[in-house]
Amino acid sequence: MATDDFGVVSVNVKIENADGSLVEQGAAVNNGAEWIYTATASNPDLAGDKITVTASDAPANLTEETKTL
């Protein structure tokens, strides 16, 4: 969940395979309560994949977090 005192204005998601190749990336959508990203690319083997989420607030501060599956 991305939150910020100034308000999160954008969230971007990047999904990479374990070998570092890009599966897909794109902007999450704010539904008014939370930011949602729906993956659309086929990715049958998730082991070792990395998901990186980058959030930006109104003053353009960036926060990034990566999780490995």
| Per-residue pLDDT tens digits of the chain, which is 69 residues long | 656 567 899 999 999 999 999 999 999 999 988 999 999 999 988 999 999 999 998 888 999 999 999
Which domains occur in the chain, in start order? 8-68 (2.60.40)
> Which tokens belong to 66?
């990566």
pLDDT at 6: 73
What is the 8-class DSSP label of residue 18?
Answer: T
| Alpha-carbon dihedral sign for residues 64, 1, 38, 28 | negative
Backbone angles phi, psi at 52, to 5 degrees: -115, 125
- Which pTM was predicted? 0.86
pLDDT at 2: 59
pLDDT at 19: 94
Cβ count within 10 A of residue 40: 9
pLDDT at 7: 85
Beta bridge partners of 15: 24, 51
